[in-house]
Amino acid sequence: MESNKNVAGHIAAAFTIFIWGTTFISTKVLLRVFDPVEILFFRFLIGYFALWLAAPRFLKVKEKGQEIYFVAAGLCGVTLYFLMENFALTFTLAANVGVIISIAPFFTALFNWLIFKGEKPGIRFILGFIIAMAGIYLISFRGDHSVSLNPTGDFLSVGAAIVWAAYSILTKKISGFGYGTVQTTRRIFFYGILLMIPALFFFNFRLGLDRFMDMKNLLNILFLGFGASALCFVTWNFALKRLGSVKTSAYIYAVPVITVVTSVLILNEKVTAEAVCGIGLTLAGLVMSEGRFELRPKKNACRLDAAE
> In this predicted model, what pLDDT tens digit does every residue of 26-58 receive, in sequence order?
877 888 888 888 988 999 999 999 999 998 888
**Residue 301 belongs to some domain of the structure:** no
**Residue 68 belongs to some domain of the structure:** yes
Residue 85: per-residue pLDDT: 83
**Residue 299 belongs to some domain of the structure:** no
**Residue 297 belongs to some domain of the structure:** no
**Residue 298 belongs to some domain of the structure:** no
For the entire predicted model, the pTM comes to 0.78
Q: Is the pLDDT of residue 295 over 50?
A: no
Note down the domain range covering 243: 4-289
How many structural domains is the chain composed of?
1
**Residue 302 belongs to some domain of the structure:** no
> In this predicted model, what pLDDT tens digit does every residue of 178-213 receive, in sequence order?
899 999 999 999 999 999 998 888 887 888 889 999
**Residue 240 belongs to some domain of the structure:** yes
- The DSSP string of the chain is ---HHHHHHHHHHHHHHHHHHHHHHHHHHHTTTS-HHHHHHHHHHHHHHHHHHH--S----SSGGGHHHHHHHHIIIIIIHHHHHHHHHHHS-HHHHHHHHTTHHHHHHHHHHHTS--PPP-HHHHHHHHHHHHHHHHHHTSSSS-----HHHHHHHHHHHHHHHHHHHHHHHHHTT---HHHHHHHHHHHHHHHHHHHHTTTT----GGGGGSHHHHHHHHIIIIIIIIIHHHHHHHHHHHH-HHHHHGGGGGHHHHHHHHHHHHS-PPP-HHHHHHHHHHHHHHHHHTTSS-SS--TTTTPPPP--
